Structure 1
Amino acid sequence: MSSKKKRSPNTSNDMWVVVAADSAVAAPRPQDGDPVMVKLRSPSTGVASLYMFGSGNAQVYEVKAFNEDYHSWFIGQTVHRDGKLLYITPVDPLYLLLPYMIQAAKEGKFQPLHQMLIDEDFPACTRLLNCKQTETSIGHVAEEKEVGSQKFYRYSREKTMEWLKKKVDKTVTALKNAKISVGEGVKSTTYIRVKQECDGREEDYLRYAHGLISEYISEDLSKDLLKHLQLPEVTSPKKAEPPSKKRKVSDKPVEAEEDYTKFNSTDFARKPPKKMTAAQKSLAKVDKTGMKTMSAFFSPKAKTEKAEW
């Protein structure tokens, strides 16, 4: 009897296949320590999300996972069953700070930044204080006061809107430089340009960039930013389209606008064919006096009384 071939041992769960920025994988200095992955509160949803702090907490990175069923990796002579592909990219720490600053602003007073970053569920959020961008960019979203050697901050909606607008403008410039089409003539799944004249509107780029930035801010901030960008509201195609206009082909299910069950009644008579066969012609010559149709034998009897319930 032939013995079953042994499978290669599975690698441990602390191994991943990662695509990361050079700054994330650079060799750390001895005094800074290794990069570390932590869970932080997502600025857009408030739920736990995975992030990574680089050496010395100088930079924070978001961790995204691309995962499909039945994927695995061959690593050396072993098979790693977890087929996820992790993407590690830098993220502005101000996005992660904003929810805490907005919450602290309800008290209406200036506070030290470390006093705002108190989260029992996500204690690693205090690492954001060590990021280089935090100290240099905090003035973009907050008013600042300095008393002695200590700095105090208070969230500013006006500054935040201007800061987010600049983010949108930079994103629009990046999309145009990369020649990424975002108009209505683009297939969403492949980003293939369908019509050259459709992908040049400034409003399309602004809306697309706004959608990208909205992935890092709360829903309320996203709505405020849309108003700040002075973008008109998107009207529903169904409301804008005249009722008499013929519907275009769509991949969405079309709701029935008529009662199609009325065509199942016996009152609906089909039009006879234009040409009759020889059998039909001979049958038409037969005397049908006193004959009943086949449907008369199967039709229900008329009820003389109404049923009581």
Structure 2
Amino acid sequence: MSTHLAILPLDIIDALTARLNQENCHADYATRFLRLPHPRTGLASLFLLHDQHAQDDTIKTSSISEVQAISPANARTWFIGEEVIADGKLMVMTPMDPMFLLMYLLRVPQARDGSKGNFRPLQDIIEEVSATIADASEKEAQKDPSLKISADDIISFLSLDFVQSSIKRVCDIKVVTEEITVYRYSHDIVLENLKRKVGRLSDPRVAEMSRTLVRNLAKDGLMDDGKEELLESGRIKLACELLSQYLPRDVLQDLIASYDFSKLDAHLKTIRDEELALLAVAPDTRKRTKATKAVAAGDKNQKRKKDAKNTDADAAGDGDKKKKKDAKSSHGVEQLKKASVAGMSKLSTFFTKKTG
């Protein structure tokens, strides 16, 4: 049996601990994995369903968490006591609002022409959604079995009580009779509830709890005095970016378009332009420095060449003079060799002692 390290939500840790230690014999805990379409990409993703309720059903809590595997770029291992875990991946389970999953699933039966469609009983919607997604994933599973999404997982998820209680946040609802209630996906209701989430996330008491968000706001100069309006817009935009991890592209675009970010965008554009200007100046300075050095080096090279040329010219001149001198001397010797010496006294006679 393989071993994996995981980061779990606190309530799941508490439930598992209580179950393992049998400290709460009156409680029933259920955890299971479901493979569902990711609300942003539609790709098959793993989710952990966690139920906790007492035997008399007086207390019941349910939650769903996204399961992600973080794999390091380089091979790693974990050391736990005396055991070595060869698989260095870390499983992270993050609680998420079922609204995001519902938003994706209940958009499936929408009419292709963009109309709102008809009100239908929830059971009919669940059957159509599960069959449509299961059939589509069947083709993908032929390439990669991990992409297979079963109709049973979708039906199990949509049939959960805490999920059905969230349907009102993504659908128009009409009560026809006491026994019949019909539903229809509503883009307007989804945007309304997403804007409420943005409002909570952009609240200073929440937003400034994250050091990353604070650094991003400070980096863009939004934390300076006198920029309160821009700071508020910055918090809202960062909140939208946080939600973008779970939103289809068209829903995200409509959410952002529902806010006026014109002043913030102009401010950010000014900062980016200044940064680009600084980056543009730096290379020009380096180029000018290199050009100056190149010119200086060129002047030195030209001077060396000129000096070398002059030296070679001087050496060549001396050689020519020597050659001419040698040539002239050789000509005189040749002439002497040809002269007649008959009747001429020898040179030694001038050094003999005269007699008498």
TM-score, reference length from structure 1: 0.67
Q: 154-163 or 194-203, which moves further after superposition?
A: 194-203
Q: Say whether 1:227 aligns with 2:257.
A: yes
> Which residue of 2 is the match for residue 6 of structure 1?
none
> Which residue of 1 is the match for residue 108 of structure 2?
103
User: Amino acid of the residue matched to residue 156 of structure 1?
Assistant: S
1:184 Cα shift? 5.9
Distance (whole Å) between structure 2 residues aligned to residue 131 and residue 249 of structure 1: 61
- Select 1:181's aligned residue among 187, 190, 214: 214
Distance (whole Å) between structure 2 residues aligned to residue 197 and residue 164 of structure 1: 29
Q: 1:115 to 1:21 in 2, by over 3 A?
A: same
Deviations along 1:271-291, one digit per CA (max 9) or x if unpaired, are: 5249956x8446347659xxx
Q: 1:97 to 1:83 in 2, by over 3 A?
A: same
Gaps of 5+ in 1: 1-11, 187-192, 255-262, 289-309
Q: 1:61 to 1:245 in 2, by over 3 A?
A: closer
> Which residue of 2 is the match for residue 88 of structure 1?
93
Gaps of 5+ in 2: 20-24, 53-60, 135-148, 284-290, 315-356
- Select 2:233's aligned residue among 181, 203, 213: 203
Q: How does 1:1-309 map to 2 (within 5 A)?
A: 12-13=1-2, 15-25=3-13, 26=15, 27=18, 34-55=30-51, 58-68=62-72, 69-106=74-111, 108-117=117-126, 118-119=129-130, 120=134, 121-123=149-151, 124-147=153-176, 148-173=178-203, 174-178=206-210, 180-183=213-216, 185-186=218-219, 197=224, 201-232=231-262, 241=273, 247-248=279-280, 272-273=299-300, 276=303, 280-281=306-307, 283-284=309-310
User: Amino acid of the residue matched to residue 240 of structure 2?
Assistant: H
TM-score, reference length from structure 2: 0.59
Provide the identity percentage.
22
> Which residue of 2 is the match for residue 300 of structure 1?
none
**RMSD between superposed Cα atoms in Å:** 4.1
Q: 207-216 or 53-62, which moves further after superposition?
A: 53-62
Q: 1:96 to 1:282 in 2, by over 3 A?
A: closer
Deviations along 1:233-264, one digit per CA (max 9) or x if unpaired, are: 958969x849x9564489xxx9xxxxxxxx9x
Q: 1:184 to 1:82 in 2, by over 3 A?
A: same
Larger Rg: 2
Deviations along 1:51-94, one digit per CA (max 9) or x if unpaired, are: 10002692111112222132222234322211111121211111
Q: 1:202 to 1:111 in 2, by over 3 A?
A: same
- In the alignment of these two chains, the number of paired residues is 254
- 2:102 and 2:170 in contact (8 A); partners too: no
Q: 1:139 to 1:202 in 2, by over 3 A?
A: same
User: Amino acid of the residue matched to residue 23 of structure 1?
Assistant: D
Distance (whole Å) between structure 2 residues aligned to residue 195 and residue 207 of structure 1: 12
> Which residue of 2 is the match for residue 260 of structure 1?
none
